[in-house]
Chains A and B, each alone.
Chain A
Amino acid sequence: MADMFAFAEARSGELRKVAFETVAAARRAADATGGGQVHALVMGAPGLSPHAEALGRFGADVVMVVEHAGLERYAPEAFAATAAERITGGSYRAAFFSASAEGRDLAPRVAARLGAGLASDVTGFEVRGDAVLVEHPAYTGKVLVTLRLTGTPAIVSLRPGALPAVEQPRAARIETVPPAADPGAGRVVVTELAQQAGATLDLGEAPVIVSGGRGLRAAEHFKLVEDLAAAFGNAAVGATRAVTDDGWRPATDQIGQTGRVVSPELYVAVGISGAIQHLAGMRTARTIVAINKDKDAPIFKVADYGIVGDLFEVVPRLTDEVRKARSS
């Protein structure tokens, strides 16, 4: 029986979906050891506490809430000091973070402070004896590596979307705790958090991603991709590197080795040939649909469903059919 720690990420006063994923993973790890406790930590500006209870739904027994006006935005040094202090204060077998942009910054800092081993961007894990075995896609997703992480606590960051947030309700006890370092005294200061204009659903959180590539031929044709995403209702829009390099879409939309790595339930690739660079960012999606005029395009090798044809005909029809299917 071992206790687990989970860092629950919040942004602009709201818990992020990855917060539920890390707590659910910690719950599963605790249960695998015979049912220890899960302690979650959430940090942000005052007003966060009412949201903290929601973490109980995913298996948190205790939610430690750190509220401070100086934590409205991510403050790397105060976050790292506080997470490290809280982890040291418990006797946790493992500490779970998300491999989100924030988690990828935070988890290595915490691991270094604690002198603990860190496995990053993990898509699966298992607590086995005195080790934690994790799965991590490496080499641009072309090799699946199983890693053995020893020592206590073992620190693990989870690829967003790779492990579903399974509900396992508990009545979480909320504890207000102070930050371990003065958030106003950090050397590294986030002075601005700018939401990307027009961003609806975040790529890391959307269950469905509709992505467009060069096959769309011009920036204005992305409307087809946006319409299809809108028809799904729960979809975000992504793009290939060629498209973001050309300025058709913002760089933050790029999916691939050098952009975002995503694992949605459904990935629809529109006019995307499937360069390795792009496949590295989406090949762990549960279901992949490809629409391309070239039947030999590499994207069809990873696709579960494919249509060879003119996307300018196929996509509007698909948008109609998806809309109909969802309204029936």
Chain B
Amino acid sequence: MKIAVCIKRVPDMELRFAIAGDRKSLEQSGLKYDMSDFDGYALEVALQLIEKQGSGEVVLVTVGPDGAQETLRKGLAMGATRAVQLKADQVPVDGLAVAHALAAELGGGYDLILFGRMATDTASGTVGPMVAELLGLPCVTSISHLELGDRRGTARRDLEGAAETVQFPLPAVLTIDEGIARPRLATLKGIMAAKKKPLEVKPAALGEVRLTVEAMALPPERSGPKFMGEGVDAVPELVQRLRTEAKVL
């Protein structure tokens, strides 16, 4: 079985962000990067499938600058077989432009193409299903449970207040929600082995860009509570304010 896992390098979300002087990008100094959370789940799913089968290949693919090689190495250290960097100094915010670059690389030969449900930076979740459409492959998004049988699979998708059971044939594109499998930590042995694993660099054949960043801003600080009370005695005033001030009662 041959599985591609598409990953993205994103800033560490625990950090405080600042907006750069151009008002449309993040201040780079002090940013640390790592693999987007959901991609870790997707990679773990792929590794477990290969381990269960006893043979196969997990290929990491990313669109990104040279800095993204560090993220690919991390995935290789977790156990992926090899990696491909589709080099782009700037990753467009336009999901379809990125999907074109990935589809050009991923056509033919893969039984499964996995993505995280979304990248935590742009928080859009569009690239996976777009790649599926461009390649004409069946696709199930945001899955929280997966069972694979003979060239077929069954997945669960959580909706608002409900869950869907979805059946699909292979090859397919799947986007993985968290909680499906806990991503493993790389072992020292894995980290050493990763240094010798193949990492191929190719130019990214990005599609036309129709979506661009016009501006970035930090959300308006909430000015702090309008009312802070203490203990049970504060309840009547809270309710009064919810009625008259916030008008939600």
Contact = CB atoms under 8 A, between A and B. Distances in A.
17 contacts: A121-B124, A139-B123, A142-B13, A143-B19, A146-B214, A148-B214, A194-B162, A194-B164, A199-B161, A208-B248, A287-B248, A295-B228, A305-B241, A306-B228, A308-B229, A318-B235, A325-B243
Interface of A: 11, 73-74, 76-77, 80, 100-102, 104-105, 107-109, 111-113, 115-121, 133, 136-151, 154, 160, 187-196, 199, 202-205, 207-208, 232, 251-252, 257-258, 260, 265-266, 276, 283, 286-290, 295, 300-310, 313-314, 317-318, 321-322, 325-326
B217 A190 contact: no
Contacts of A139: 11, 13, 17, 26, 120-121, 123
A282 B72 CA distance: 32
Interface stretch (B57-65, B104-112, B139-147): B139-147
Contact of B229 (A115, A190, A251, A306): A306
Interface in B171-218: 172, 177-179, 210-218
A142 B218 contact: yes
A75 to B, nearest CB: 10
Given A194-B163, A251-B179, A252-B158, A119 B123 contact: no
Given A144-B217, A196-B163, A306-B228, A101 B157 contact: yes
Nearest to A262: B160
Given A112-B133, A118-B96, 9 more contacts: A138-B123, A191-B154, A300-B225, A305-B225, A305-B227, A305-B242, A307-B231, A321-B235, A321-B236
Nearest to B217: A144
Given A118-B95, A145-B216, A196-B161, A304 B248 contact: no
Interface of B: 11, 13-14, 17, 19, 26, 37-38, 93-96, 99, 120-130, 132-134, 138-142, 144, 154, 157-169, 172, 177-179, 210-219, 222, 224-232, 234-236, 238-239, 241-243, 246, 248-249
Contact of B142 (A104, A265, A276): A104
A105 B129 contact: yes
Given A76-B139, A109-B133, A307 B124 contact: no
Contact of A141 (B37, B219, B230, B249): B219
B217 to A, nearest CB: 5
Contacts of A113: 133
B234 to A, nearest CB: 5
